[in-house]
Chain A
Amino acid sequence: MEEVTTPRERLERTVLAPVTGTSRWYYAWVAFLLMVIAWGVYAYSRQLHDGLIVTGMRDRISWGLYITTFVFFIGISHAGTLISAILRVSQARWRTPITRMAEFITVVALVCGAMFVVIDLGRPDRVLNVIIYGRWQSPIIWDVLAITTYLTASVAYLFLPMIPDLALFRDRLAGRVSGWRLRLYDLLSVRWRGTAAQWRYMGGAITTAMILIIPIAVSVHTVVSWIFAMTLREPWNSTIFGAFFVAGAIFSGVGTLIVVMAVLRKVYHLEEYITEKHFVYLGYLMAAFALIMIYGNISEYLTTGYKMEEGAEFHFRQLFLHQFAGFYWFYLIGGLVTPGLLILMPWTRNIRGIVVAAVLVVAAMWVERYFIVVAGFRVPLMPYEPSAYAPTWVELSVMAAGFALFALLITIFVKVFPILAVWEVAEDLEGPELAPEAGRLPFGAAPEPAGGGNR
C-alpha cells in the first residue's frame, strides 16, 4: 500500500475507492436485491392481471400496506434535504461528511414513495387522468404537486454541491474507468473549472435552493397527512395531523440517515470522516424529535381521549388494548421512549447504541404509519361488524421490492457518484484559511452559508 501524505489525498482516495474497485460482495448484494425486485415485479404482474383482489384490502379497509409504505417513504425522504438544508442554513460545520448521503436518501425515497401511489391505483393505466382532469381541490392533486416539486428541488439540491466533485471525478478518473462513466462525469460537471465566478454562481444557487427547499419539504409531508385529515373519519379528524406528520417524517428520516450512514461507513471505510460525533449529534436531533413525537401523541390522544366521543372510544380500545395493542405499545415504548433513553444515557451514547436507537425508530415509525392507515379505516362508520385487514403475499412482495429498490439505488449511487462532499470536507480538513472560497468574496457580500466556510 502506497504511503499517502496529505489529508486531502487520503480523502480523495477514500472517495474514489468505491468507484474504482468493486468487491465480490458488491455483486452478491446487487444480485440479491435484483432477485427481491424481480419477485416483487412478478407479484405486481399478478396484481395487474387479476386486479387488487389479490391484496388484502377491501371496501372497509381500502388502503393498506401500499399507502403505509408510501407515507413511510415520503417520511424518510425528509432525512436528507431538510436536515442538510437546516444544517447548512445554521452553518453547522459537522454536517459536511453526511450531507451527500442525506440528500441522496431524499431523492431515492421520493422515487420509491411516489411509485407506491401508482401501485395502489385500481387503474394504473389511467394515471394520466391526474394531469388531464386534475382538480386542484383534491388532496391527491396537492400531493402530486408537492411531491413533484420536492423531487425537482431535491435533485437540484443534490446536484448543485456535487458539481465540483463531479469535476474532480472527471479529472482524477480519466483513463481509470469505462468510457460511459467519463462521458457522464464530463456531462454532469458542466465544464466546471473552479473559477471564482463559478464558485460564486454555485454558492448563490445553493443558497437559493436550500432556502426554497425547507418550506417545500414541510409542505410535502403536510399534504400527505391531509389525504387523511381531509376526510370525516374520527381518528384522522385532527388539526395536529400536518405538524405531527412532519415531525414524524423528520424523526424517521434521521433514523434512516443514521442507519445508512452506519452501513456505508463500515463498507467503504469512512471512519475517518464519519465519526462518533456525527452519530451523537444526529442522535441528539433524533432525541429531540422523539420528545416532539411524545408531545404530539399526548396532545392528540389526551384531547380526544378525555372527551371520548363516539368512535374515539373504539379507536382507543383497538390501539391501546385490543387488536393493535402489542405493536402500538412497541411504537410508544420501543420507538419513542427507548431511543430517547439510549441517546441520552451516557453509557449507550455511542455508535452502537445510537444505531440500535435508529433501527428502533425506523421500525416504529413504519408501524405508526401502518396504524394510522389501517386502524383509521377500521373504526366502523355504520352498524356493521369491524372488518379485518391482513396483507397478502402480493403486497408483502411488492413492499419488499420497494425497500430493495431503495437499497439498490443507494448502492448504485455510491458506485457512481462521490459519496462524500469532497470539497466541503476538504475545507474542514484544510482549515478555513485554505478553503477555496476564503477571500473569494468580500465579507458580507453574498450569502455565505452555502459553502459554510466563513468561520
Chain B
Amino acid sequence: MEDKEQTRSLPRSPAGPGERRMGRRGVLRLLGVGALGIAPLPILPSLLRSALSGRLVRSRGPVARTPDGRIRQWSMVIDLRRCDGCQSVDRPPQCTAACIEGHFAPEPMEWIQVFEGDLPGGGTQFIPTPCQQCQNPPCVNVCPVAATFSTPEGTVLIDQERCIGCRICMAACPYDRRFFNWGKAPVPPESQMAEYSAEHQVPAKRGTVMKCDFCPDMMRDGVLPYCVQACPNQAIYYGDLEEDVASNGDEVIVLSRFLSEDQAYRIKEDLGTKPRVYYIAGHGEDVGRDVFKKGRLPTRWPWAEKVKGARTWKR
C-alpha cells in the first residue's frame, strides 16, 4: 500500500527535488546529436555500394554506336505476312528453337514465343513475341534494386547477379515476357562454363528473372540475333532506328519507310509502354499459309543431358 501511495499521490510541484530537469540547452544538445546520428543515413547505401563494388559490377559491354558516333537504337520489325508458325517447314517455330539453343534457355522459357491469335471470322495468325523492349518499361519502373534496367540503346536488360527474385516485374509486364527460374534450371552442363553477362544470360541462375535480352552483344559484333537468323521465311527484321536501317539477313530496308508504308503497329499500343518491337499485320499470306490452317508444333528443348538435380516446370 505504501508503494501505491508513493506512485499515485503526486507532488503538486512540477519536479521533485532529485529530478533532473531538461532545459532548453539540453533539448538542443539532444536535437544536435540526433541530427548527427541521422545525417549519414542517405549516404549509407552509397558507402555500402562502394565497399562492395568490386564484386557487384553490372556486366554490360560498351555502348553500340554508328560510324559517326551516335548511339544505336536497336529495334525489331516482325512481318506477320511472312510468319506461318513454321507450318511450311513442319517444325516447331525456328526463331524460338534457335533462341533456346543460343541462350541455353531453360525449359519452359520461350523468350521469343509464337502465340496463335484469333482473327475475326475464325482464322488465326501467328505472333512471334520477344520482349517488347519498352521505352516506358513497367518492369524497370517497379524493380526495387535496379536489377532490370534500360540501356542507352533502348533495350531492357536484367542483371541476374543483383535480382532478388521478388517478381514484381513479372506482375508489371503486360506482355507475359518475363520468366522465373523456379528451381535449378534444366540446362546442359556445358552452359555452366559460360561467362555470365547481362547481355547474354548464361548460365541461368536460380531464383532470378530472365527474358529476351535483344542480343546486344551479337549486334555489337555485327551479327544478327539467333531468332532473325533462324527464321526460314525471313519474317524478322532487326536494325537501328538511329541509322534508319534494318535487315532480316536477306535484304536491307529503310526502317522508317518500311514502318510507315506497311502500317506497322505495336502490341497493346494504348498502354503507353512504347515498345521497340513493331509488327506488320498479316497471317502468313506471303508464304502461302491458309488462314484457317491452325496450330503449330510445340517447342522442344533439345538437350539430352542436363545438369544434375535439375527439374523442369510448367509456365
Contact = CB atoms under 8 A, between A and B. Distances in A.
A122 interface: yes
B11 A381 contact: no
Contact of A52 (B49, B52, B173, B207): B207
A230 B172 CA distance: 8
Nearest to A55: B182
A197 interface: yes
Nearest to B209: A122
Given A134-B144, A382-B176, A59 B311 contact: no
A304 B272 CA distance: 20
Contact of A59 (B16, B49, B179, B208): B179
A171 B144 contact: no
B142 interface: yes
A383 B15 contact: no
A164 B38 CA distance: 30
Contacts of A59: 170, 176, 178-180, 315
B162 A126 contact: yes
Contacts of A228: 171
Contacts of A135: 143-146
A85 B54 CA distance: 48
Nearest to A377: B171
A122 B165 contact: yes
Contact of A384 (B12, B115, B145): B115
Interface stretch (A103-111, A136-144, A293-301): A136-144
A262 B75 CA distance: 63
A352 interface: no
B163 A123 contact: yes
B48 A231 contact: no
A196 B15 contact: yes
Contacts of B35: none
A436 B19 CA distance: 19
Given A384-B115, A384-B176, A167 B7 contact: yes
Nearest to A194: B7
A270 interface: no
B162 A171 contact: no
B145 A133 contact: yes
A111 to B, nearest CB: 19
Interface string B98-137: 0000000000000000011110000000010100000000
B175 interface: yes
Given A52-B180, A194-B7, A230-B172, A133 B45 contact: yes
Interface in B27-53: 44-45, 48-49, 52
Contact of A132 (B45, B129, B141): B45
Given A59-B315, A135-B144, A52 B183 contact: yes
B232 interface: no
Nearest to B312: A53
A387 interface: yes
Contacts of A278: none
Interface in A105-131: 117, 120-123, 126-127, 129-131
Contacts of A139: 142, 168
A62 interface: yes
B145 A53 contact: no
B271 interface: yes
A58 B182 contact: yes
Nearest to A120: B166
A193 interface: yes
A317 to B, nearest CB: 18
B314 interface: yes
B260 interface: no
A193 B17 CA distance: 13
Contact of B206 (A122, A144, A194): A122
Contact of B144 (A138, A196, A382, A387): A138
A131 B3 CA distance: 49
Contacts, number: 186
B166 A140 contact: yes
A51 B181 contact: yes
A227 interface: yes
B141 A137 contact: yes
B207 A140 contact: no
Given A194-B8, A382-B115, A62 B176 contact: no
Given A53-B182, A60-B176, A132-B49, A195 B16 contact: yes
Interface string A317-351: 00000000000000000000000000000000000
B14 interface: yes
Nearest to A164: B7
Contacts of B271: 232
Given A135-B143, A138-B143, A233 B171 contact: yes
B180 A122 contact: yes
Interface in B145-189: 145-147, 162-168, 170-176, 178-184
A193 B8 CA distance: 9
A3 interface: no
A269 to B, nearest CB: 22
Contacts of A194: 6-8, 10
B21 interface: yes
A113 B230 CA distance: 48
A51 B174 contact: no
A122 B7 contact: no
A430 B116 CA distance: 77
B172 A231 contact: yes
Given A53-B311, A141-B144, A129 B162 contact: yes
A131 B46 CA distance: 10
A63 B11 contact: no
A168 interface: yes
Given A171-B7, A197-B15, A233-B171, A51 B183 contact: yes
B249 interface: no
B292 interface: no
The interface centre, meaning the residue of B44, B117, B315 with most chain A CB atoms within 10 A of its CB, is B315
26 contacts: A50-B184, A51-B207, A53-B182, A53-B183, A59-B170, A59-B315, A63-B171, A122-B166, A122-B180, A131-B45, A133-B145, A135-B144, A141-B144, A168-B7, A196-B11, A196-B13, A197-B21, A200-B14, A228-B171, A230-B172, A231-B138, A232-B138, A233-B174, A382-B129, A382-B176, A384-B115
Given A117-B166, A140-B144, 9 more contacts: A53-B184, A59-B170, A123-B164, A127-B164, A130-B145, A132-B145, A135-B143, A381-B174, A440-B10
In order of increasing CB-CB distance, the 3 nearest A-B pairs are: A122-B165, A53-B183, A122-B207
Interface of A: 8, 50-55, 57-60, 62-63, 117, 120-123, 126-127, 129-135, 137-141, 144, 164, 167-168, 171-172, 193-197, 199-200, 227-228, 230-233, 377, 380-384, 387, 436, 439-440
